[in-house]
Structure 1
Amino acid sequence: MAAALDIDYTRRNKKPRPLSDAERDQLDEFIDSIHYSSRYNDDHYEYRHVQLPKQMLKKIPKDYFDGARGTLKLLWEDEWRGLGITQSLGWEHYEVHEPEPHILLFKRPMNYQAPH
């Protein structure tokens, strides 16, 4: 199922890297300023983008970034939820909008049903 999303898993940490309590505390002030787009879709997926406050990027741990690109890596669900992003189940972080690296792009299959 996840492979069908065409996500370049080489752009992720090898396994989720949870934030420490101290790291999470540094991000708390930004959580209320995270902006969520409306959903949009094509025939296969629904999409949304999440805009982080630009100042928040300076507080995110360096190992969440892709040094070659200068943007965030593709984040595991545990990682983006740890940053304070809240959305329903099934969303995958599949791209960073490189001209605006504080914008994270998410998608999930149309009519996604959470496993029971």
Structure 2
Amino acid sequence: MSKMNELGIDESRRNRVPRPLSENERVRLDEFIDNIHYSARYNDDHFEYRHVQLPKAMLKVIPKEYHDPQKGTLKLLHEEEWRALGITQSLGWEHYEVHEPEPHILLFK
């Protein structure tokens, strides 16, 4: 059952509480951080958007608790989770969707 928040984000697609990374997991992800690509910002009448492209190989190193087995993508990540992966952007961004045909692309608003 979906549970939309005020930004239209389906909270049921997230972990109930942010799942921190272990030190070992963080070290394994470090090699990918320099290859994360950030799009330019774009907007509609309501929100500003951007997408973040993770290196495809990085998906195999991200802990299974971050993955949604029903969709074959990452779950919608809490800010603490996407920052732990090495995604860096200003405050206020919310991960609202994963581009299913290309699960390494995360959509933010």
Q: 2:47, 2:9 → 1: CA distance?
A: 13
TM-score (norm 1): 0.90
| Structure 1, unaligned runs of 5 or more | 108-116
What is the match of residue 111 of structure 1?
none
Q: What residue identity is the alignment partner of 1:28? A: D
Q: 2:5, 2:26 → 1: CA distance?
A: 30
What is the match of residue 23 of structure 1?
25
Q: CA RMSD in A?
A: 1.0
Q: What residue identity is the alignment partner of 2:97? A: E
What is the match of residue 93 of structure 1?
95
Q: 1:79, 1:91 → 2: CA distance?
A: 13
Q: What residue identity is the alignment partner of 2:69? A: G
Q: Secondary structure at the match of 1:3?
A: coil
**1:43 and 2:40 correspond:** no
CA deviation vs aligned residue, 1:47-71 (integer Å, no higher than 9, x gap): 0000000000000000100011110
